Chain A
Amino acid sequence: MGMPVTAHVRDAAFAPGDLDAAFEWLREVDALFSTYRPGSEVSRLDAGTLALADADPLVREVLARCEALREETRGAFDARASGALDPSGLVKGWALDRAAALVDAESLCLDGGGDLVLRGGPWRVGIRHPLLSDRLAAVLELREGAVATSGTYERGEHILDPRTGHPPRGVLSVTVTGPELATADAYATSAFAMGRKGPAWTAGLDKHEAMTILTGGRVLGTPGFPLAAAAAAA
């Protein structure tokens, strides 16, 4: 997948081998979806050498969800934003949701490059400070669900607003929580791309909460964002 995936499991009777199914699944996803592999179905679809009707049902499912998200976010989420077909904004969360379902553990945190699938908590989740890399901007506490953070912390790495072709102004990061990572991750990316209009959009989302960190040190959160009750700030 091109990113580190870590599993935290609290069940006492758990062996590392119990993760094999999940990681095998992630390898399959890479083979189907990687835009870096010319032989992947996504690459071949984009090149025109594979017809959509002949594609794997999983690929068709993901592309259909991408299209629905593009409409729902009015273009802020767009699998064709870069010109080529690139559904990886949805694939990562979608793959991790399914990977978590393949782990036979009651208490699990699956961490894919900073986006999380959780169950059997409570889990205390820190949100990385966008400017001070060794500090936290917030602490969340939740039993289950997904946490996705979108943003740019370093120069040279941009998420572009597909509608303008430029990076969004004024926003450092957006964190979204919800029942599953596929949608939470897509919403985080979309809200980030919306720039200063993102927070208002997140306030209207059903079943999802969000926290947006703006430049200038202003934070706008939906009232139900699951901040931990006791923040032990040092």
Chain B
Amino acid sequence: MKALAAIVVTVVAVVLLARFETEPPRTLNPNSALEPVRTPRALARPASTPAPDRSSGEGERSFLGPAMTTPFSAIQVRGFFTGRRLTGVETVLLTGDGPHTEALNARAEPILRESVLEAGSADVDVVSGATSTSRIWLDSLQGAIDQARRGR
């Protein structure tokens, strides 16, 4: 009887584990070093995810999302807002053992801005590019920039 109970417990644990793996709560994982950047319309269109904008905190309010629980851990996400704009995210881990909470953070989606490749020309001081076999390209462009400078 004890052996059967042990098998039942194991099966239940495996089922719960499987459910955890397939339905993890979603978190945002913003780069904490972000500074506010104004993106020119010509070079970008807004991403579907609002970009975090670290303001001074004045007028900033925060809201705590619902607690999401799994058999192994529970989390709550706090969102910081200035007006209706999401300015920050904090994930609060309520319980949970190490490996599963690490797996949770590993699923966090990267925040990236998507845009279309533009081909422009602009007044710049210097050009960054991958080193190429014909380095004379960069030298030549630098020469043109320097001439433009002197011409002003």
Whole-angstrom CA separation of A161 from B97 in the bound complex: 35
Q: How many residues of B contact A (CB 8 A)?
A: 48
Tell me if B42 and A125 are in contact (CB < 8 A).
Answer: no
Measured between beta carbons, the chain B residues less than 8 angstroms from A173 are 129-130
**Count of chain A to chain B residue pairs whose CB atoms are closer than 8 Å in the complex:** 185
Measured between beta carbons, the chain B residues less than 8 angstroms from A109 are 125-126
B43 within 8 A of A: yes
Which of A115, A123, A223 is most buried by chain B, counting CB atoms within 10 A of its CB? Answer: A223
Using CB atoms and an 8 Å cutoff, list the residues of chain B in contact with chain A.
29-35, 37-40, 42-44, 47, 51-52, 110-135, 137-139, 141-142
Beyond A227-B39, A233-B42, A233-B118, list 18 extra A-B contacts (CB 8 Å): A125-B124, A125-B127, A135-B119, A154-B133, A157-B132, A157-B133, A201-B110, A203-B112, A220-B113, A222-B31, A223-B31, A224-B31, A224-B34, A230-B40, A231-B42, A231-B43, A233-B122, A234-B120
Whole-angstrom CA separation of A133 from B141 in the bound complex: 10
Tell me if A114 and B130 are in contact (CB < 8 A).
Answer: yes
Tell me if B132 and A138 are in contact (CB < 8 A).
Answer: no
B57 to chain A, nearest CB (A): 18
A228 within 8 A of B: yes
A150 within 8 A of B: yes
Residue of B nearest to A92 (CB): B131
Interface residues of A in 123-167 (CB under 8 A from B): 123-129, 132-140, 147-154, 156-157
A121 to chain B, nearest CB (A): 9
Residue of A nearest to B30 (CB): A223
- Against B, the Cβ 8 Å flags (1 = close, 0 = not) of A78-110 are 000000000000000000000000000000010
Measured between beta carbons, the chain B residues less than 8 angstroms from A127 are 127-129
Q: Which of B33, B133, B139 meets A224, CB within 8 Å?
A: B33
Which of A123, A204, A221 is most buried by chain B, counting CB atoms within 10 A of its CB? Answer: A221
Measured between beta carbons, the chain A residues less than 8 angstroms from B112 are 199-200, 203, 220-223
